[in-house]
Structure 1
Amino acid sequence: MSDYTYDKDQDGIVTITLDMEGQSANTMNSRYIQMMEEILGRLQGEDGLSGVVFASAKKTFFAGGDLNMLRAIERADEETFRFVEANKAPFRALEKLPVPVVAAINGAALGGGYELCLACNHRIVVNDPKAIVGLPEVTLGLLPGAGGVVRLTALLGLEKALPHLLEGKPVKPQAALEQGMVDEIVETREALVPAAKAWIKANPDAHTQPWDQKGFRYPGGDTLHPRVRQTIVATPAMLYKRTRGLMPAPEKILDIAVNSMRIAFDPALRTESRGLCTLLVTPQAKAAIGTFFFGMQAIQSGKVRPKGETWRATSSAILGAGMMGSGIAWAHASAGLPVVLKDMEMDKAEKGKSYSAALTDKRVKRGRMSAAQKAALLAQITPTSDDAAYAGADIIIEAVYEDIDLKEKVIGATFGQLSDSGIYGSNTSTLPISVLAEFCPDPSRFIGLHFFSPVDKMKVVEIIMGEKTSQDTLRKAYDYVQQIGYMPIVVNDSRGFFTSRVFGTYLDEGLALLRDGMSPVALERAGWMAGMPVGPLAVHDETSLVLSQKVRKTHEALDARLGGESGFGADNTASRAIVDAMIEQDRGGRHYGGGFYDYAADGSKSLWSGLDQFASGKGGIAVQEAIDRLLYRQAIETLRCLDEGVLNTEVEANLGGIFAIGFPAHTGGAIQFIRGVGIDQFAARAAELAAKHGPRFTVSQSALDRLRGDQVQAA
């Protein structure tokens, strides 16, 4: 075979260098079992064998399971169980070798790659931040099924293993050493194999794993130890608070980890296999693999990016030092992109820079940033009130208030400051880019760059193409968004674009439920149970009812200016009526002292007692009915955006909905939610909701036909 090299030195140590042909990474593909069986056969028949080193010829050590293969599994049957058992069997055979086995970790060892490391007697990693280790399967709706749950629990003990198993975060070398996930660090890749061989020579009898030794005791204590019992009792409640019972993988991992401590090692491994079989066929796993792995891969690799050489901005300017402008300046400075933060008055520009200073202070206090790093970041931001300060900038972003007259003035006055090859972006959330582009001399270099608040946490940017925006400008905007470490979602111009349109439906349906007589407590709970970050009333308070009203009035003025009606937000009748009435009663949202909630000085809040005035319906709405209304309303609007050509791809629809709007992550995004329910079943339920509640739940035949066509094409 050509998937590995096998080299035995004069001391009897065999180095296996994994190098799977035709792949950029080593994976558990269709050739993996055959390869491992061949390796084990050679090792077991080797005369004078004194040790084994596993290394890699790839940039990464081992990437683990083949997700295409796993996603194709449809049934949790005996065949699936045998497949899972066959994949992990080589690791148990490695543990039975009568010689020490060492993992020489030259790069990322995640999932099955780290499970291979766990089956070795010693783990050495190179001191490189890219040489991360961990078990991220939970983030894909799965569990580490090649021994990861059982072995990590035995290696670290339950209390220390659970965070790695339940959160799936990758761990860098130094932290991995401190936490016991690896045993040794070397400074260079070239030093890995020599260090591994040196350890084997120094420890010729270290070939029995701790869990196979007589009298083995779990680090931190067994399940009867008081601290461990406390962990076992407290963790389920913590998990439910985090997952709301919508993600089965964490619960399954916890169950297997705890019970692995109560039974023998090999039966525990079989229990782990059964758990993986169960999770492989869940809609949550299918959704997570499709969206968070393959979808993110498509975005990061530039599959939806225009072809052309990579562009990099070296200078930038933000116009408007309010909350959004200050946040964007932080994003630039954090990525090492020098930025001029301009406002009409110098004290406002300085205040905008102080936003970044406050964020860096928090990081310094928490030990996540040094004083020198803070100073370097803040040095990237230059506050000013003078347009000449950013002459020749590669990218200018206007982030002034959502007022078309103000934006017209600013864009026209500042476009000339761009470099000859620079691009100009507008951080508008709803105003048509094609209309704003009329205010600049070269519309081909004008594009929408919609950031989300708070910018330092919401790592996604909606890139909006105007009618005259060039593909060259789109390519540069895409590269710029990735340059500052954010995820680009490309959409075409329309009122409200994609995110604001869909977000508005969530707010409106919450108010429609209030209008129909559902208790405010119950409807907020329904939003939480659906998997949204917070209920619709709470999020409306945070984004501000005053802003909602301003956006609507801005578009009414724009309709008058352009002649005709855009239809933007036409179905949001509950919002129109209730928001205006709330503002008349000085209930503008949290920023204005109170909205749907009252806010106490100690930071607590409670629903406002006056909300019953808006209930004109009979009530009696079941929680599941409310959940359906909240999710279907958003999914239908997302599907409309896809059908109208506002959205270009399902990948962007799914990821944009999750990261920008907060659509429940366990669904894999709004379009994946429809596919998970089943296109026909979704259409039938939408028709029921439309018959009962009105045309806002109507799904067009063309949209359904598109979904079915895409499904056939993908198959």
Structure 2
Amino acid sequence: MSQSSIRWEKDADNIVVLTMDDPNQSANTMNALYQKSMGETVDRLIAEKNDIAGVILTSAKKTFFAGGDLRLLIQATAEDAPKLAAELKEMHRQLRGLETLGKPVVAAMNGTALGGGLEIALACHHRVAIGGTKAEFGLPEVSLGLLPGGGGLTRVTRMLGIQNALMSVLMQGPRMKAEKAQSTGLIDELATDADDMLAKARAWIKANPNAQQPWDKSGYKMPGGTPSTPALAMNLPAFPANLRKQTKNANYPAPKAIMSAVVEGAQVSFDNALTIESRYFIKLATGKQAKNQIKAFFFDLQKINGGGSRPSKDTYPVWKAKKVGILGAGMMGQGIAYVSAMVGIEVVLLDQTVEAAERGKAYTKGLLDKRVSKGRMAADKAEATLALISTTDSHTDLAGCDIVVEAVFEDRAVKAKATELSEANALPDFLMCSNTSTLPITGLAKASKKPENFIGLHFFSPVDKMPLVEIIRGDETSDAALAKAFDFVLQIRKTPIVVNDSRGFFTSRVFGTFIMEGMAMVGEGYHPVSIEQAAAQAGMPVGPLAITDEVSLDLGRKVRVQTEKDLAAEGKTLPDHPANAISDRMMDEFGRFGKKAGKGFYDYPEGGKKVIWPGLIETFTKADKVAIDESEFEELQARFLYRQAIESARCFEEGVLTSVADANIGSVFGIGMAPWTGGVLQYINYVGLPEFVARADAFAAKFGDRFTPPQLLRDMAASGKTFE
């Protein structure tokens, strides 16, 4: 008997329970064995349907179904299109066979059903899931540069209607808990546990012996109408306009394909809609952008969260922080306090005065109150979470802390004092962490009596929203300390990347190239709107001039001056950058320091939206740069991406970065590198090493040495290697 991933059991009521249980994997995926097993199972159901009262489809794994096999999909090329088309056609045959069986079919979802897993469930007539768990449901393919190709797009459109399908499920690809999925319409019924789930499934089958999908019933009408319905037709032209606004016209083919497939598919029969869906899916799956996003947001992220950069768990078992001391209750400290308390860690929030610490605690209260008001948290749970944070102005209250995070001013003396006082009061072997964004950790650790326990934890603002933490290992940081830091970041539900010590580390160093390139373009005479638009259409979330205002120009100069002093002490000099002259003129000649001063590259009228400062155009913009052609605009976009990628390659060459996954995820989650690129090093793969080096050399000849590719890239281009 051939191997199968689906078990068949028929009970006394003639209800067949199909249990998906791949014998070769910890999760069920749409691999070759599943495709064969489901095909055989559906054929058997059709052959024996006269002896069947109904079907329950469930899983023996922790998850219901994990979706498509991305290991195979990431390798797909244009030459594989016919094979993909045949596989999709067979998948559609199987799921159509299931839903047109003439017998009630229920999906009993015992765990997560995302992507292909939910597509299977959507082909059932009724969906039951266990409520109150961490299980997630949704069609998140858009985040991987894809669309649901197993019939999910077509089915959810006919279930919910065009507008609801696009806005609630497909365009953003949200992952929903069972309760949210039920309110959205993806799940029909919630159960308390596995037994209740199966009981509800059996009861529904008995109550609905002639179940059909709505779209297979005579007289079916799509909710909200089709594109020919006058009310919907009147609103349809706004859909692509809103999409362009959301994506800023950047390089994101998946949302465009989803919208097209939904609207086109809604105008034809169900089976023809599946064909349309398949064609769009194949075009995306064989394209380069999807490979970028699959590598970054599945494989790279999986590697990081799986501990790819963590010392071995065999040597250093998983550790959990019990009490964290946070020095500084400002913007960063208050955010760290919130995310720590949210996972049940006791927090000591310390500032120069108790009043200042209380203001920091109030930040957590505000966020908790918002969660309660939106029904996302019970009031008593919020109260208990807030109670985990104690405020103080005395370092003696750090007693019992097994980890301390200092988030004080970027001043070596202030940070050294914070380290000294922490070591005098916290637990003997506590983990000392600095939230510095630029100062080398090895130097800061000199203030510690135990530099092996000193490490950098670079958070991003706002801490409650930003998913990344950059862990910086100093020269003397031990493996034990690194393991603890890694575990703490996962404990507070953030994504950790690990880098070695250097000036600016990885994220700050690379982020600096983006904003400085924008200022360099101002100096070259480009119109500021062209600069900001080029960054947006390259895929960056905020333009370089706007973000420079947010950071403030004077902070940038302080970092530059400190770096010049540090390098001078080492007998080195900081190479000049054309951005420096622009920054200095903005401050010294025009008194414009950024948003906090109310004026920078933008004006900030009270109660109004920010606008480009007219004097910026009058002072710097050249007449021949006001209107630029498409090729010159594309060059501006490329410069933003190339500068970040080149600097990242230098970090890799210097050993600051040791993991491609850390580089890619760190750049997207930490500094907003265009997600469609898959991250800074994947972008180089996307362009192609030889092509990237050639264009970087051309940029270096035209704009300066900052574009000169490191030898590492030249060697990789010559040998045919890529960043893996």
- Shared topology, TM-score over 0.5? yes
Q: Which residue of 1 aligns with 2:119?
A: 115
Alignment of 1:675 with 2:685, yes or no, is yes
Alignment of 1:611 with 2:616, yes or no, is yes
Per the TM alignment, residue 437 of structure 1 is displaced from its structure 2 partner at its CA by 0.6
Q: Is the 8 A contact 1:137 1:143 kept in 2?
A: yes
Q: Is the 8 A contact 2:693 2:713 kept in 1?
A: no
Q: Is the 8 A contact 2:4 2:34 kept in 1?
A: no
Q: Is the 8 A contact 2:326 2:337 kept in 1?
A: yes
Q: Which residue of 2 aligns with 1:13?
A: 15
Deviations 1:657-679 (A, max 9, x none): 11111110111111111111111
Return the alpha-carbon distance in structure 1 between the equivalents of residues 227 and 722 of structure 2: 50
TM-score, normalised by the number of residues in structure 2? 0.94
* Change over 3 Å in CA distance of 1:125–1:395 after alignment to 2: same
Alignment of 1:4 with 2:12, yes or no, is no
1:218 alignment partner AA: M
The 3-state SS of whatever aligns with 1:255 is helix
* Greater displacement, 375-384 / 288-297: 375-384
* Greater displacement, 182-191 / 606-615: 606-615
Return the alpha-carbon distance in structure 1 between the equivalents of residues 435 and 326 of structure 2: 10
2:570 alignment partner AA: G
Q: Is the 8 A contact 1:105 1:131 kept in 2?
A: no
Q: Is the 8 A contact 2:131 2:192 kept in 1?
A: yes
Q: Which residue of 1 aligns with 2:54?
A: 51
**Where in structure 2 are the equivalents of 1:207-246 lying within 5 Å?**
208-245=212-249, 246=251
Per the TM alignment, residue 577 of structure 1 is displaced from its structure 2 partner at its CA by 1.8
1:71 to 53, 69, 74: 74
The 3-state SS of whatever aligns with 1:333 is helix
Alignment of 1:83 with 2:83, yes or no, is no
Q: Which residue of 2 aligns with 1:586?
A: 591
Return the alpha-carbon distance in structure 2 between the equivalents of residues 129 and 710 of structure 1: 47
Return the alpha-carbon distance in structure 1 between the equivalents of residues 102 and 342 of structure 2: 51
1:171 alignment partner AA: M
2:40 to 38, 41, 44: 38
| RMSD after superposition | 1.9
Return the alpha-carbon distance in structure 1 between the equivalents of residues 28 and 132 of structure 2: 19
Return the alpha-carbon distance in structure 1 between the equivalents of residues 450 and 638 of structure 2: 46
Return the alpha-carbon distance in structure 2 between the equivalents of residues 708 and 39 of structure 1: 51
Return the alpha-carbon distance in structure 2 between the equivalents of residues 107 and 636 of structure 1: 43
The 3-state SS of whatever aligns with 1:130 is coil
2:176 to 153, 159, 171: 171
The 3-state SS of whatever aligns with 1:392 is coil
Return the alpha-carbon distance in structure 1 between the equivalents of residues 621 and 196 of structure 2: 74
* Change over 3 Å in CA distance of 1:350–1:709 after alignment to 2: farther
Q: Which residue of 2 aligns with 1:299?
A: 304
Alignment of 1:143 with 2:147, yes or no, is yes
Q: Is the 8 A contact 1:8 1:15 kept in 2?
A: yes
**Where in structure 2 are the equivalents of 1:531-610 lying within 5 Å?**
531-560=539-568, 562-565=569-572, 567=574, 570=575, 573-584=577-588, 585-610=590-615
Per the TM alignment, residue 628 of structure 1 is displaced from its structure 2 partner at its CA by 1.4
**Where in structure 2 are the equivalents of 1:458-473 lying within 5 Å?**
458-473=466-481
Q: Which residue of 1 aligns with 2:447?
A: 439
Q: Which residue of 2 aligns with 1:340?
A: 348
2:572 alignment partner AA: E
**Where in structure 2 are the equivalents of 1:403-418 lying within 5 Å?**
403-418=411-426
2:436 to 424, 428, 451: 428
The 3-state SS of whatever aligns with 1:303 is coil
The 3-state SS of whatever aligns with 2:200 is helix
Q: Which residue of 1 aligns with 2:339?
A: 331
The 3-state SS of whatever aligns with 1:696 is helix
Return the alpha-carbon distance in structure 2 between the equivalents of residues 240 and 282 of structure 1: 20
Q: Which residue of 2 aligns with 1:352?
A: 360
* Greater displacement, 434-443 / 624-633: 624-633
Q: Is the 8 A contact 2:118 2:138 kept in 1?
A: yes
Deviations 1:345-393 (A, max 9, x none): 2222222222223333433444434433332222122111111111131
Per the TM alignment, residue 636 of structure 1 is displaced from its structure 2 partner at its CA by 0.5
* Change over 3 Å in CA distance of 1:399–1:205 after alignment to 2: same
Q: Is the 8 A contact 2:395 2:421 kept in 1?
A: no
Q: Is the 8 A contact 2:4 2:37 kept in 1?
A: no
Alignment of 1:700 with 2:710, yes or no, is yes
Return the alpha-carbon distance in structure 1 between the equivalents of residues 66 and 431 of structure 2: 38
Structure 1 runs not aligned, ≥5 long: none
* Change over 3 Å in CA distance of 1:189–1:230 after alignment to 2: farther
The 3-state SS of whatever aligns with 1:421 is coil
* Change over 3 Å in CA distance of 1:122–1:634 after alignment to 2: same
Structure 2 runs not aligned, ≥5 long: none
Alignment of 1:397 with 2:405, yes or no, is yes
Using the aligned pairs only, state the percent identity: 46
2:65 alignment partner AA: F
* Change over 3 Å in CA distance of 1:365–1:97 after alignment to 2: closer
Per the TM alignment, residue 612 of structure 1 is displaced from its structure 2 partner at its CA by 4.4
* Change over 3 Å in CA distance of 1:546–1:370 after alignment to 2: farther
Return the alpha-carbon distance in structure 2 between the equivalents of residues 366 and 184 of structure 1: 23
Q: Is the 8 A contact 1:424 1:446 kept in 2?
A: yes
Q: Which residue of 2 aligns with 1:381?
A: 389
**Where in structure 2 are the equivalents of 1:617-628 lying within 5 Å?**
620=625, 622-628=632-638
* Change over 3 Å in CA distance of 1:220–1:80 after alignment to 2: same
TM-score, normalised by the number of residues in structure 1? 0.96
The 3-state SS of whatever aligns with 1:27 is coil
The 3-state SS of whatever aligns with 2:437 is coil
* Change over 3 Å in CA distance of 1:419–1:706 after alignment to 2: farther
The 3-state SS of whatever aligns with 2:127 is strand
Per the TM alignment, residue 227 of structure 1 is displaced from its structure 2 partner at its CA by 4.2
2:61 alignment partner AA: K
The 3-state SS of whatever aligns with 1:170 is coil
Return the alpha-carbon distance in structure 2 between the equivalents of residues 491 and 709 of structure 1: 26
Per the TM alignment, residue 514 of structure 1 is displaced from its structure 2 partner at its CA by 0.6
* Change over 3 Å in CA distance of 1:536–1:598 after alignment to 2: same
Q: Is the 8 A contact 1:643 1:706 kept in 2?
A: no
* Greater displacement, 132-141 / 404-413: 404-413
Alignment of 1:156 with 2:160, yes or no, is yes
Return the alpha-carbon distance in structure 2 between the equivalents of residues 88 and 708 of structure 1: 45
* Greater displacement, 603-612 / 283-292: 603-612
Per the TM alignment, residue 410 of structure 1 is displaced from its structure 2 partner at its CA by 2.1
* Greater displacement, 611-620 / 590-599: 611-620
